[in-house]
Amino acid sequence: MRIEIICIGDELLIGQTINTNASWLGQTFSSIGAQVVKSSCIADDKNEIISALNHVSEGIHAVIITGGLGPTKDDITKHTLCEYFNTELEIHAPTLEKIQAFFAARNRPMLESNNLQAALPKDCTILTNNYGTAAGMWFEKNGLIYISLPGVPYEMKGIISEEVVPRFQERFQLNSIYHKTALTQGLGESFLAEKIKDWEEALKVQKLSLAYLPSPGIVKLRITSFKGQRDALLIDRYMSELNLLIPEYFYGFDDDTLPSVIGGILKEKRKTVGTVESCTSGLLASQLTSIPGSSAYFLGSILSYSNDLKMNLVGVKKDTLEKFGAVSEQTAIEMADAGRKILGVDFCISTTGIAGPDGGSVEKPVGLVWIGISSENGTFAKKYRFGDHRERNILMTILSAQNLLRLNL
Amino acid sequence: MRIEIICIGDELLIGQTINTNASWLGQTFSSIGAQVVKSSCIADDKNEIISALNHVSEGIHAVIITGGLGPTKDDITKHTLCEYFNTELEIHAPTLEKIQAFFAARNRPMLESNNLQAALPKDCTILTNNYGTAAGMWFEKNGLIYISLPGVPYEMKGIISEEVVPRFQERFQLNSIYHKTALTQGLGESFLAEKIKDWEEALKVQKLSLAYLPSPGIVKLRITSFKGQRDALLIDRYMSELNLLIPEYFYGFDDDTLPSVIGGILKEKRKTVGTVESCTSGLLASQLTSIPGSSAYFLGSILSYSNDLKMNLVGVKKDTLEKFGAVSEQTAIEMADAGRKILGVDFCISTTGIAGPDGGSVEKPVGLVWIGISSENGTFAKKYRFGDHRERNILMTILSAQNLLRLNL
């Protein structure tokens, strides 16, 4: 089953609203084995809507239209659809009752514009909206299904889940698509591709497709099967092989995050963690504590931005700072080591680096970072070289520190 | 100037990635007076790309294509564009040099796939990518501009800002739209509207339009003039009036942020700041240090998540914690007061609260937060009541703490 999505709304085009509806619809339809082959955003404009309906891609079974249904006067979708499907509006009694009940339950007066929401096209199936006052509409023309829904995410999602998905599943033989995504940190897309090329070839032989999804510091590897759950065990086997190939980079699956993976290990081993940060400015701690229940293993953190605090609060030796500088292996080691004692934790991570844009030199350029790890097994620091961009350097440091901790737990 | 956006990527269609590129492009082009009239997402598929290029809307001046440019073999955009524009790939020497320098600076070996990124279509203008290895491409055909860019947001934004916008501004007569946005913190949209309704009426009389742009904790008020710069002085006058109306909420203009405003005041007064955090878990510090040059006034921070650290590291009295609890006026005051001394700063902010989802009680419900401020003028704490949602409570605490600091500098 092939689906096209058309989102109506000026606020999407001028970027005032991020189009999360399209991604939710993509996820939802993929999960039932239907395929979104195109999605577009167009203006709240009659001609644009008609043009989009006239140019639906070939081989499409259903078009989902979102937006432009609401109580305010600038909504034109409903009128345009009447014209396009050659029908007219009439009051839909069950919808009017629902709207009246909706306002009564909330003790709010009804406006004339709310009554008008019950005026719906004659020749369509009305899709009940249990979350608001704008009903959905299901038209059919030349063997194609057109579904118009309100743009408010919460209402749109309700109608799709309760009214649309069951009808699609009844009407179409849906292929079940199965995805599993491996998460990797620390290796760029091209190096990763080089390292796993034989494994990737073997996947192809099994007709499993692989997609590389890179973002700064992280590359996700998504395996897709069009045979659905039947391939789940096979994919698990390939994932185990991948883990043997790149254990230092492969940290989890699907919705895992480095903080959630680290939290899981710490909880299981009943160990605690803390951070002493400089160039990551507290973000490493805040990510580790973003996991509900993290207070069981995360105790605290020191952000020692100035050299004075590195000495007076953390206890880095004056001598070390003078001889090697704040961004050095020795300082990173002393920060992690002292931090472990002061914070009373089993594992302490330290970060010190030159995030930029200023502060770089020939010897210590912007992007140079030292990450230290201290535990009962000892303390060490590892050197990293990132790029020129401050935010990205901070992000890369956080991800690298988390992955380094994971490998040393 | 009318623009169409085409985003290529299966990950967008299956909803694995939310299309933030399209909204950023919409905002960016709107701000220079160009109009995005349509945006669409299509699959990584040659036929889909060609079909999208063949069906560009009428009256379009430029098409922006993002995605499908990277070092791995599943990229097809470049080859498809060569076919569409009837040209071929050849090694672009300056790009090859840039890629080589990119890897050399990072001390990483280059792979054959990285070299191939320098193979670019002959008949196009190459747009320099200062943030990665995939160059942008500018084609022209039948009076229409086609620009192809990598999908990685950070790289795409760099090329648009540095290479595309200046060329558009040179080539097209862009309508001059003038925006000025006032930033407010601490008052909900409807309360704000009530407080400034006379001021808003006066704007209307001058044919200036006002938009409320609410996000959690912040409401932006954007004034738009279609007469461009000519209205700048008039708008400045209205902004001054607004500041007199709501000084405790109005913290800046346009791209200002609370951390940048606070940083400006601290620099001017040559004062320093630090934080002692509990429920904000280091995020308050990381936001204050997100401003380049913040090391001049931000010295450090302690994240005392556990009660042990509140006592042993910060020096909150055991008695205070036992008598009033960790989330109390007294604890917030002791945290801020002790923090000012330990960190050696002029101003210290403390946060302690129940972010949720767990930890609430009848007396101290989820959403209860105390924020302390200590300075040479004394120490006090202020009580806040937010809602049930953890992330939102943390965000509201950070914003409120920053605005409270701003008012006390």
Chain B neighbors of A387, CB-CB under 8 A: 105-106
- Mean pLDDT for B193-205 is 91
- Mean pLDDT for B289-296 is 88
Chain B neighbors of A18, CB-CB under 8 A: 18-20, 23
The three-state (H, E, C) secondary structure of A1-33, written as one string:
CEEEEEEECHHHHCCCCCCHHHHHHHHHHHHCC
Q: What is the per-residue pLDDT for B163?
A: 97
Let me know how long chain A is: 409
Is the Cβ pair A300, B304 closer than 8 Å?
Answer: yes
Q: Which of B26, B300, B312 sits opposite A303 (nearest CB)?
A: B300
pLDDT in tens, B172-184: 988 777 889 999 9
CA distance A18 to chain B (A): 6
Q: What is the per-residue pLDDT for B198?
A: 94
- Mean pLDDT for A29-52 is 91
Share of chain A above pLDDT 90, in %: 72
Q: What is the per-residue pLDDT for A74?
A: 54
Task: Parse chain B into domains and list their residue ranges.
Answer: 2-171, 178-253, 258-408
Count CB pairs under 8 A between chains A and B: 238
Tell me, yes or no, if A387 comes closer than 8 A to chain B by beta carbon: yes
Tell me, yes or no, if B298 comes closer than 8 A to chain A by beta carbon: yes
Give me the residues of A, 319-358, that contact B with CB < 8 A: 342-344, 357-358
Is the Cβ pair B313, A299 closer than 8 Å?
Answer: no
Q: Which residue of B has its CA nearest to A24?
A: B15
pLDDT in tens, A119-132: 999 989 999 998 88
CA distance A30 to chain B (A): 6
- Mean pLDDT for B188-200 is 87
CA distance A93 to chain B (A): 33
Give yes or no for a cis peptide into A357 (omega within 30° of 0).
yes
Q: Which of B40, B43, B71 sits opposite A40 (nearest CB)?
A: B40
Q: What is the per-residue pLDDT for B74?
A: 59
DSSP state letter for B10? H
Sign, Cα dihedral of A90, A93, A97, A102: negative
Is the Cβ pair A15, B37 closer than 8 Å?
Answer: no
CATH of domain B178-253: 3.30.70.1090
Is the Cβ pair A16, B213 closer than 8 Å?
Answer: yes
Q: What is the per-residue pLDDT for B261?
A: 98
User: Could you tell me the two tokens for A162?
Assistant: 């309760």
Q: Which of A15, A191, A222 sits opposite B26 (nearest CB)?
A: A15
- Is the pLDDT assigned to residue A35 strictly greater than 80? yes
Between these two residues, A100 and B252, which has the higher pLDDT value? B252
Is the Cβ pair B15, A23 closer than 8 Å?
Answer: yes
Tell me, yes or no, if A94 comes closer than 8 A to chain B by beta carbon: no
Q: Which of A216, A280, A308 sits opposite B154 (nearest CB)?
A: A216
The CA-atom distances, in angstroms, between B333 and each of B127, B186, B338, B389, B393 are 55, 22, 8, 25, 20
Q: What is the per-residue pLDDT for B305?
A: 86
Sign, Cα dihedral of A389, A394, A395, A398: positive
In the three-class reduction of DSSP (H, G, I as helix; E, B as strand; rest coil), residue B97 is classed as helix
CA distance B98 to chain A (A): 14
Q: Which of B19, B152, B344 sits opposite A23 (nearest CB)?
A: B19
Let me know how long chain B is: 409
Between these two residues, A51 and A112, which has the higher pLDDT value? A51
Q: How far is CA B29 from the centre of its chain?
A: 17
Q: Which of A6, A40, A218, A397 to mutate to test the interface with B (most CBs of B within 10 A)?
A: A40
User: Could you tell me the two tokens for A379?
Assistant: 């303390």
Q: Which of A20, A43, A304 sits opposite B37 (nearest CB)?
A: A43
Q: Residues with Cβ < 8 Å from B211, sequence gap 6 or more?
A: B221, B222, B224
CATH 3.40.50.300 fits B2-171, yes or no: no
Is the Cβ pair A344, B281 closer than 8 Å?
Answer: no
Q: Residues with Cβ < 8 Å from A49, sequence gap 6 or more?
A: A6, A8, A42, A65, A68, A76, A77, A80, A81, A84
Nearest to A174 by CA among A57, A29, A62: A29
- Mean pLDDT for B112-120 is 86
Tell me, yes or no, if A182 comes closer than 8 A to chain B by beta carbon: no
Q: What is the per-residue pLDDT for B189?
A: 80
Could you count the other beta carbons within 10 Å of the beta carbon of residue B175? 12
CA distance A99 to chain B (A): 24
Is the Cβ pair B108, A188 closer than 8 Å?
Answer: yes
User: Could you tell me the two tokens for B313?
Assistant: 């590291």
Tell me, yes or no, if A125 comes closer than 8 A to chain B by beta carbon: no
pLDDT in tens, A64-91: 999 877 665 456 889 999 999 999 999 9
Could you count the other beta carbons within 10 Å of the beta carbon of residue A239? 16
Q: What is the per-residue pLDDT for B214?
A: 76
10 Å CB burial of residue A142 (0-12, 13-18, 19+) is exposed
Burial A273-299 (b: 16+ CB within 10 A, else e): bbbbbbbbbbbbbbbbbbbeebeebbb
Q: Which of B18, B213, B293 sits opposite A23 (nearest CB)?
A: B18
Weakest-pLDDT range from A108-117, B278-287, B366-375: A108-117
10 Å CB burial of residue A335 (0-12, 13-18, 19+) is buried
Weakest-pLDDT range from A288-292, B80-84, B341-345: A288-292
Query: Alpha-carbon distance A248 to A350, whole Å?
Result: 20
CA distance A92 to chain B (A): 33
Which CATH number is B258-408's, of 3.40.50.1820, 3.30.70.270, 3.40.120.10, 3.90.950.20?
Answer: 3.90.950.20
Q: Which residue of A has its CA nearest to B51?
A: A57
Is the Cβ pair A193, B25 closer than 8 Å?
Answer: no
Q: Residues with Cβ < 8 Å from A201, sequence gap 6 or more?
A: none
* Contact call for residues B22 and A33 (beta carbons, < 8 A): no
Q: Which residue do the tokens 């973003």 mark?
A: A290
* Contact call for residues B276 and B350 (beta carbons, < 8 A): yes
User: Could you tell me the two tokens for A394?
Assistant: 């901070």
Q: What is the per-residue pLDDT for B251?
A: 97
- The answer to whether the pTM exceeds 0.90 is no
pLDDT in tens, A294-349: 989 999 999 998 899 999 999 999 999 999 999 999 999 999 999 999 999 999 99
- Mean pLDDT for A170-178 is 83
CA distance A94 to chain B (A): 33
Q: What is the per-residue pLDDT for A175?
A: 73
Q: What is the per-residue pLDDT for B11?
A: 86
Query: Alpha-carbon distance A398 to A347, whole Å?
Result: 16
CA distance A286 to chain B (A): 5
Q: Residues with Cβ < 8 Å from B407, sequence gap 6 or more?
A: B248
Is the Cβ pair B23, A39 closer than 8 Å?
Answer: no
How many alpha carbons lie under 13 Å from residue B386 in its C-beta half-sphere? 29
Q: Which of B1, B8, B13 to mutate to test the interface with A (most CBs of A within 10 A)?
A: B13
Q: Which helix (H) or strand (E) holds A403?
A: helix A390-408
- Say what angle helices A197-205 and A232-245 make with each other, to 10 degrees: 170
Query: Alpha-carbon distance B264 to B271, whole Å?
Result: 10
pLDDT in tens, B275-291: 999 999 999 999 999 88
Is the Cβ pair A343, B286 closer than 8 Å?
Answer: no
Query: Alpha-carbon distance B159 to B137, whole Å?
Result: 10
Is the Cβ pair B36, A14 closer than 8 Å?
Answer: yes
Q: What is the mean pLDDT of chain B?
A: 92
Tell me, yes or no, if B22 comes closer than 8 A to chain A by beta carbon: yes
CA distance B43 to chain A (A): 7
Q: What is the per-residue pLDDT for A323?
A: 97
- Mean pLDDT for A251-269 is 96
Tell me, yes or no, if A36 comes closer than 8 A to chain B by beta carbon: yes
Question: From the DSSP assignment, how many helices (H) and strands (E) are in chain A?
Answer: 17, 17
Q: What is the per-residue pLDDT for B72?
A: 67
ipTM: 0.72
- Is the pLDDT assigned to residue A107 strictly greater than 80? no
Give me the residues of A, 190-229, that contact B with CB < 8 A: 190-191, 193-194, 211-216, 220, 222
**Beta-sheet strand order (sheet of A2-8):** A125-127, A136-141, A144-149, A62-66, A2-8, A35-42, B35-42, B2-8, B62-66, B144-149, B136-141, B125-127
Is the Cβ pair B303, A306 closer than 8 Å?
Answer: no
Is the Cβ pair A305, B308 closer than 8 Å?
Answer: no
pLDDT in tens, B39-73: 999 998 899 999 999 999 889 999 999 998 777 65
Is the Cβ pair A38, B13 closer than 8 Å?
Answer: yes
In the three-class reduction of DSSP (H, G, I as helix; E, B as strand; rest coil), residue A303 is classed as strand
Weakest-pLDDT range from A5-19, A306-320, B370-384: A5-19
